[in-house]
Structure 1
């Protein structure tokens, strides 16, 4: 791409949009940023973008002469701006595609830093952070980038336009949005962790959502990593157009078969990247090295290990990286124990798929659930968890959906509906008190709401923080 004086539109004045606009300006492009919003925050951001034209309050009109659009991830394909671009034959890239196009060869190698990429409905951030920890333990300069941590644009340019050293390899989290707008992406190796209905309003259908997730496998060089417990992820591998010699590598919680990662007697085992894998396997760690050792988190660790091993990391570095990893807040985090009852904060479980994984990790459970359902249904979730439930405490605007599912599939489970009409700390204190009244020694009170939080809290982080604060209040 010849960037000098190229008319480029950046769609969206969010964090990724601002980063893309600055990079394009510095390349010499004529940049116009468009955003349908018009707020004091956006005006402040616009004022900081020197040498860049910004149009607020109009995100639908395609500026005359536009040769390329670079979009923020959240803008759906149905946006009038993109429909106009399609009619005019103007290509649309996401920030990930722009970063991919701007990669530069590493000194002494002649090749850009390879990308090890992860997508899936749930577990992406944890898996990418585990992978980055493993790569760091192997002595590589790396970062968790993309939909988490460092901006992918900043990462690919690091060390070329400043005094820092460039990254050796990148651990890249990619959302379905980002993959949709990354037509030329071809990574070293990639993993799809799982597939469950999500963001269907953006993609239009489950088939379209899955197809965008599957883009991550196209052009893979060494390994396509899939979940043995989720056949849809293996089907994406079958449909992918990969480089010759690229292998399908499965991961799961049972003893591994050929070209798989799995668990044997509490050991994490690689039977894919070992000599004579038909007869041999390699120990790469133990279940105890995974923090926390919940089943779905062990699966995340195996996926991260598979990508690291595909890149050539040795078994000891996998183990050391997993031991060093510490998960982000609000992901199956132990808050404490009060009167023999364990309290777990998984406020990040904002959809049914994530909540199901969390519920499988504990037994018996007093379940705190509810919020904004985002169009979800709860019958399958409740059916799968019914035998583990001691009781349930329901909260939020769409609590009735969960109450009705409990009535159908777990009618003997006691239910308290708490904090009606309340928000914030007052609401959560009532919720935790109600849960404590239902719990018995040996139980787990689990905040895994399966819903978004914004009806009662600022975000899932505040919901989790207030849960922990209320639990600490029980000891007083």
Structure 2
């Protein structure tokens, strides 16, 4: 059998390889399924396994170690390889136990890169950033699809990369959204090091500091996205941190640095001129001219008109143009694109007040984008900040905040931020642990301070797990509370979306 570190193809000999898969979420389950298909001997380790997956693993003859009761070190005895869930911190006892035994640890993304040639090896286009990853991933894939490329958006977006590489028809390209957790564990050399066609880090702000241990460690994880890029390293001109990542990256000779911004672009950039999105990177006469990609008005129907969304469009366009999409194809894709739910989604307009759900804004950087999109806001925020600081956000946007409603367990930092930077702005705290009541009370409090022309904005700037199942659950409950309000005694209310 090929030595573990040298396994770099679906067609290498994986038979009998003893593998422990730690975690049975979406990516872990895909790893188990893949390894069984490769002929490896697999043990699954998990704290919780739903009945359906337990049944399937029984059919696959994969034993499950209950991490809450059974002896984990025993499960690692004899293991030659560990595949770890991206959510496991580096100091997690499972990973410490593997390291003590000298067992190599991969993530599902590294495994997918190594076996990407089952059908045909697609080009990988990598997307990361503190905010905007999913939208940009979807946009880039949509643009490439419009260009006739067989493509799939995968990774942290929800579809495991391993499912895509095993698709029987194969793909020309995969647009892979990567979180800092996934990037942290990726090697930069050897058979498991990804060499993408192109890559982008959209922006960088403090996030997941509790997981990574420091802002520098978080930045270093994000910077891995550019490692060994072959064609284009796309960066945000307005975010110098991403430019420095590109300058420091070990890319393949000939790879170009391509910038994007909302300003007039330089000769290797994409940007905006007189309300037109233009490309000065992918044309021969880029020092003297530019190609028109779209009008800013083209972004409006898709909900992409706000500044942070427009930057996502430009980043996606850079990736698509690097892969060969024509300007007309980019424009048509922009016009036909629609955002996922919970991303600056208009829920309803009631008596001239707009209620907008941006529950996906799970950190201050993400909330900054939606706050910037509206001139007068009643802001609903709060949850789990995970070490992130909301005070600078309050300071920068105090002029547009009419009132604020604080929810979640981390309300003290919100109160302190408003007391320091916006003491004259009304702040209402929703002090309840009842998940069923939180949003009803928050919407009532926000509506009491809203006037025609204002926007009640759910942009929590925090994670949702303190009171909700997910950011989607949080957004759904907000929308339900808004619609209930519109249905009971508010004349002139009109639902949207």
TM-score range, shorter chain: over 0.9
Quote the residue 1:437 is aligned against.
Answer: 448
- Structure 1 counterpart SS, 2:87: coil
Quote the residue 1:472 is aligned against.
Answer: 483
Shift of residue 44 of structure 1?
2.7
Shift of residue 39 of structure 1?
6.0
Contact 2:125/2:196 (8 A) holds in 1: yes
Shift of residue 331 of structure 1?
0.6
Q: Does 1:74 align with 2:87?
A: yes
CA distance in 2, matches of 1:30, 1:52: 8
Question: What is the aligned counterpart of 2:61 among 44, 51, 72?
Answer: 51
Question: What is the aligned counterpart of 1:446 among 450, 457, 466?
Answer: 457
Contact 1:143/1:150 (8 A) holds in 2: no
Question: What is the aligned counterpart of 2:116 among 92, 96, 103?
Answer: 103
Q: For structure 2, which runs of at least 5 residues remain unmatched after alignment?
A: 1-6, 8-12, 188-192, 489-497
CA distance in 2, matches of 1:394, 1:219: 44
Deviations 1:224-265 (A, max 9, x none): 111112111111111110011101111111111121111112
- Structure 1 counterpart SS, 2:149: coil
Q: For structure 1, which runs of at least 5 residues remain unmatched after alignment?
A: 160-164
Shift of residue 397 of structure 1?
1.9
Q: Does 1:19 align with 2:23?
A: no
Deviations 1:72-113 (A, max 9, x none): 111122233433433444321110111100011766xxxx21
Q: 1:82 to 1:276 in 2, by over 3 A?
A: same
CA distance in 2, matches of 1:454, 1:212: 24
Quote the residue 1:276 is aligned against.
Answer: 285
Q: Does 1:336 align with 2:348?
A: yes
CA distance in 2, matches of 1:374, 1:182: 23
Over the aligned positions, Cα root-mean-square deviation in angstroms equals 1.9
Q: Which deviates further from its counterpart, 455-464 or 46-55?
A: 46-55
CA distance in 1, matches of 2:272, 2:74: 54
1:268-347 counterparts in 2 under 5 A? 268-290=277-299, 291-292=302-303, 293-347=305-359
Quote the residue 2:493 is aligned against.
Answer: none
**TM-score when normalising by structure 1:** 0.93
Q: Does 1:4 align with 2:8?
A: no
CA distance in 2, matches of 1:80, 1:348: 30
CA distance in 2, matches of 1:106, 1:316: 31
Q: Which deviates further from its counterpart, 400-409 or 462-471?
A: 462-471
Question: What is the aligned counterpart of 1:128 among 137, 152, 176?
Answer: 137
Quote the residue 2:388 is aligned against.
Answer: 376
CA distance in 1, matches of 2:355, 2:274: 28
Contact 1:115/1:170 (8 A) holds in 2: yes
Contact 2:57/2:63 (8 A) holds in 1: no
Shift of residue 415 of structure 1?
1.9
Shift of residue 181 of structure 1?
2.4
Quote the residue 2:397 is aligned against.
Answer: 385
Contact 1:176/1:213 (8 A) holds in 2: yes
CA distance in 2, matches of 1:190, 1:43: 34
- Structure 2 counterpart SS, 1:273: coil
Q: Which deviates further from its counterpart, 54-63 or 277-286?
A: 54-63
Question: What is the aligned counterpart of 1:193 among 173, 193, 202?
Answer: 202
Quote the residue 1:148 is aligned against.
Answer: 157
CA distance in 1, matches of 2:73, 2:137: 35
Deviations 1:183-216 (A, max 9, x none): 2111000000111122222222211111111111
Quote the residue 2:233 is aligned against.
Answer: 224
CA distance in 2, matches of 1:247, 1:240: 12
Shift of residue 47 of structure 1?
4.6
Quote the residue 1:166 is aligned against.
Answer: 170
Shift of residue 386 of structure 1?
0.7
Question: What is the aligned counterpart of 2:45 among 19, 34, 57?
Answer: 34
Contact 1:61/1:81 (8 A) holds in 2: no
Count, aligned residues: 465
Contact 1:369/1:394 (8 A) holds in 2: yes
Q: Which deviates further from its counterpart, 78-87 or 314-323?
A: 78-87
Quote the residue 1:251 is aligned against.
Answer: 260
Q: 1:150 to 1:372 in 2, by over 3 A?
A: closer
Quote the residue 1:162 is aligned against.
Answer: none
CA distance in 1, matches of 2:258, 2:72: 43
Contact 2:404/2:427 (8 A) holds in 1: yes
